[in-house]
Amino acid sequence: MIRLKFYSCILFISVFTFPVLSQTHKASSEADTVKHDSLDEVIVLGKSKVREIGESAYNVVSIDTRLLHNTTLSLTQTLDRISGVKIRETGGVGSDSQISINGFSGRHIKVFMDGMPMEGFGSSFQLNNMPVSLAERIEVYKGVVPVEFGSDALGGAVNIVTKQTKNTYVDVSYSYGSFNTHKSNVSFGHTAKNGFTVQLNAYQNYSDNNYKVKTRLLEFSEDGLSALGFTQEKQWFKRFHDTYHNEAVIAKAGIVNKAWADRFLIGLTLSREKADIQNANVMQIAYGGRERKAKSLIPTLNYEKKNLIVQNLNFSLTANYNITRNNNLDTLARQYNWKGEYIPKGSKGEGEYSMSEFDSKNVYVTANMNYRIREKHYFALNNLYSNYTRKATDVAANSENSTAATFMRRTNGKNILGFSYKFEPGKRWNASAFFKYYEVNVRGPVSTTTTAVYEEQEKSFSTTGYGVLLTYFLSNSFQLKTSFERAYRLPSERELFGDEVLETGDASLKPENSQNINLNISYSNVWNSTHSAYIDVGLIYRDTRDYIRRRVEQNRGGAFYTNHGNVLNLGIDCEARYFYKNIFSAGGNFTYQNIRSMERYNANGALDVNYKGRMPNLPYIFGNLDASYNINNAFGKGNTLSFGYNLRYVHSFLRDWISEGASDDVIIPIQLSHDMNLTYTLKNGRYNVSFEVKNIADEMLFDNFSLQKPGRSFTVKLRYFFFNNNYK
């Protein structure tokens, strides 16, 4: 009963503000379910993985996303409701987004899908455009990441676990919302008695993204031939060049439950997108003709076998080969303002002239082997190999306004070998230790002078990382976790080579390294057969060297990456939740992260004026509050009417160093937003209707570098879900 209380609270954390479709999940759970009489519902527990995660020393949250499939949330928006996690978006649907975990953001955080790295998947197949219904569970590691992922993550990782049920299901949904936003999704899965299995997911997103923004206007002369400068006063404008459209199809087929393989799947993912570019990294600069296109083809392979050759020896292999083509178009000899007006330019291109076409190819192979001895000793061995290449494929398109660097090779090869050992003498405590060996080889253009003269250079790097973890159950309800690691994070392809649109790369970037400490204590309990609660408090310490920082050119709106130096982060995040049966829930989370620059001297050897200053463009206080109420058997047996509310708070923070930005723009103000939703499910979750209102008060919301996000929006979603248990 003690363990049952613990796991039920862990599961309930994922409810957030949305309805608990208990009847639906009674049908969809296939194995390892437990009847929890005190809560009047079936609590779905993972067959083994969730238990291992919960009892391990890793600081990890596991979210059952099936409880959110009636919402219009993307996977990134789902993550934004977890303590210590902040999603940074640059605009509306399809805009660039970054995940921040305990102060580390962007490429510091690694993202996986079913344990497979998503680096190199291309912009058309990323978390910001994937529906939440694509996932069955999301695992968020805050701090140490298991060696099984083969990761060089510095601050954490996100693993998207897709649907892997052996039963038959059909899930179809469509939503329409403000700013002419359309989203649809179709999912299908079936496993035959002979072990043949097939899975299909398809989704599309479209939006005009024509919400209003407040910024300065670039004024033109009366003759329409020259720019006079930006107005002092900000005005409201409607976005006029920001449509986004993408589609993706993910197909997998193979066999399960055979003597030679527990799971063998071959898959193919096809995705594409077309996006207008309305503005750069500086809000007041507007574009009227820039656009980008991307398409990806990703064949995948997944093999799993337990008890390979000998008992308790498990092996898995995942591999993918990503082929991505990017087209960037910037040909108009014009300069636009936010009214949609323009003046002629003396040269082509609103930014830099481009009709570029680039091909990127990325191969990932991850092999895992783990072995258990006498229920107490666990060994794991992992190896990740990856190789990324990019080249310009259209010489004619790239010949105008290009440099020698345009046609130079860009390659990034990595190999990460990891070994871990876990000792579990009993249920009261367990401890783990791990070791990683990193190798990297980078080839690309490096500027050798201040006048942007490039030469192709190659460099190699190797090092080791290590760490230890410990967890201890202080009592039936209290659990203590602590961990230490020396971690390295190798620069990503985007940091090394840019994105060929708004960012430039630097192939000479150094890997980041950090000493990280986590300390967590959690409490969970159930009272009087009806009430349950969960509380978690975590302390973090991050001492990072060669920190890679993204910087923005204020006059042009471009961005680039640089090694900042030493950065120190001391922080705390906490979460508390209360539940009354499956009727009412309320909770919240809070994060404070004190991220300071510890670089005493600048490049000229003088005392740096920003020494011990707070790192810019990073929120340091933020949190969420939420509540939900369910009316079971509303207007008929098996129907549920649910109400939900969510509040988000972000404290004011600096957009840039005070010495680098304009005084009236350097501070991003306090942000407070409210969301509400209403969901009605019929026939135990087969038919579903949802209505959502986001940003009810129509507040001005910002993220990276004062880039404004959408105001108030309304959405209606219709969903049909069919499930058949093949093992009755």
- Say yes or no to pLDDT of 240 above 80: yes
**R_g of the chain computed on alpha carbons:** 26
Over the stretch 183-207, which tens digit does the pLDDT of each residue have?
Answer: 999 999 999 999 999 999 999 999 9
Q: What is the pLDDT of residue 126?
A: 78
- Cβ contacts of residue 186 below 8 Å, gap of 6+? 171, 172, 200, 201, 202, 203
DSSP of 50-100? HHHHHHSSS-EEEEEGGGGTTS--BHHHHHTTSTTEEEEESSSTT--EEEE
Q: What is the pLDDT of residue 50?
A: 53
The two beta strands, 667-668 and 41-44, are unpaired
- Say yes or no to pLDDT of 7 above 50: no
The residue type found at 148 is E
Q: What is the pLDDT of residue 451?
A: 55
Highest mean pLDDT: which of 1-10, 235-244, 319-328, 718-727?
235-244
Q: Indicate the pLDDT class of residue 515, thresholds 50, 70 and 90.
A: very high
- Say yes or no to pLDDT of 337 above 90: yes
Q: What is the pLDDT of residue 214?
A: 93
The residue type found at 52 is E
- Say yes or no to pLDDT of 17 above 50: no
Over the stretch 245-283, which tens digit does the pLDDT of each residue have?
Answer: 999 999 999 999 999 999 999 999 999 999 999 987 788
- Say yes or no to pLDDT of 36 above 70: no
d(CA 203, CA 184): 6
Average pLDDT over residues 451-461: 74
- Cβ contacts of residue 324 below 8 Å, gap of 6+? 120, 121, 122, 294, 295, 296, 297, 359, 360, 361, 362
Q: Indicate the pLDDT class of residue 95, thresholds 50, 70 and 90.
A: confident
The mean predicted confidence, pLDDT, of the chain is: 83
| CB neighbours of residue 460 within 10 Å | 10
- Say yes or no to pLDDT of 590 above 50: yes
Q: What is the pLDDT of residue 18?
A: 35
- Secondary structure class of 37 (helix, strand, coil): helix
Q: What is the pLDDT of residue 251?
A: 95
Residue 132 near residue 73, CB atoms below 8 Å: yes
Helix (H) or strand (E) holding 22: helix 22-28
Residue 242 near residue 210, CB atoms below 8 Å: yes
CA 716-12-580 angle, to 5 degrees, is 90
539 or 26: which leads in pLDDT:
539
176 or 59: which leads in pLDDT:
176
Q: Indicate the pLDDT class of residue 450, thresholds 50, 70 and 90.
A: low
Highest mean pLDDT: which of 88-102, 134-148, 454-468, 640-654?
640-654
d(CA 318, CA 385): 11
In the block, residue with structure tokens 């979210």: 63
| The pair of three-digit structure tokens given for residue 284, joined into one six-digit string | 């007041």
Over the stretch 144-161, which tens digit does the pLDDT of each residue have?
Answer: 888 888 778 777 888 888
Q: What is the pLDDT of residue 497?
A: 77
Main-chain dihedrals φ then ψ at residue 689, nearest 5 degrees: -130, 130
Question: Three-state SS across 564-623?
Answer: EEEEEEEEEEEEEEEEECCCEEEEEEEEEEEEEECCCECCCCCECCCCCCECCCCCCEEE
- Say yes or no to pLDDT of 476 above 70: yes
Residue 558 near residue 351, CB atoms below 8 Å: yes
Residue 132 near residue 383, CB atoms below 8 Å: no
Q: Indicate the pLDDT class of residue 512, thresholds 50, 70 and 90.
A: confident
456 or 44: which leads in pLDDT:
456
With CA atoms as reference, report the closest residue to 645 among 674, 673, 623, 624.
674
Instruction: Return the minimum-mean-pLDDT range out of 358-367, 412-421, 620-629, 650-659.
Output: 650-659
With CA atoms as reference, report the closest residue to 250 among 119, 368, 124, 64.
124
d(CA 567, CA 513): 11
pTM (predicted TM-score): 0.84
Highest mean pLDDT: which of 94-98, 340-344, 439-443?
340-344
| The pair of three-digit structure tokens given for residue 613, joined into one six-digit string | 């200053």
> b vs e for 384-394, b when ≥16 Cβ sit within 10 Å of the residue's Cβ?
bbbbbbbebee
Instruction: Return the minimum-mean-pLDDT range out of 162-171, 245-254, 499-508, 641-650.
Output: 499-508
Residue 156 near residue 144, CB atoms below 8 Å: no
Over the stretch 532-559, which tens digit does the pLDDT of each residue have?
Answer: 999 999 999 999 998 888 776 655 556 7
Q: In angstroms, how far is the first alpha carbon of the chain from the final one?
A: 28
Q: Which residues are registered as beta bridge partners of 330?
A: 354
Q: What is the pLDDT of residue 478?
A: 94
The full set of domain ranges for the chain reads: 2-524+556-581+607-724
Q: What is the pLDDT of residue 664?
A: 52
The two beta strands, 559-580 and 503-504, are parallel
Choose the CATH number for 2-524+556-581+607-724 among 3.40.50.300, 2.40.170.20, 3.90.79.10, 3.40.50.720. 2.40.170.20
Over the stretch 654-690, which tens digit does the pLDDT of each residue have?
Answer: 888 875 544 456 788 899 999 999 999 999 989 999 9
Over the stretch 622-643, which tens digit does the pLDDT of each residue have?
Answer: 999 999 999 999 999 999 999 9
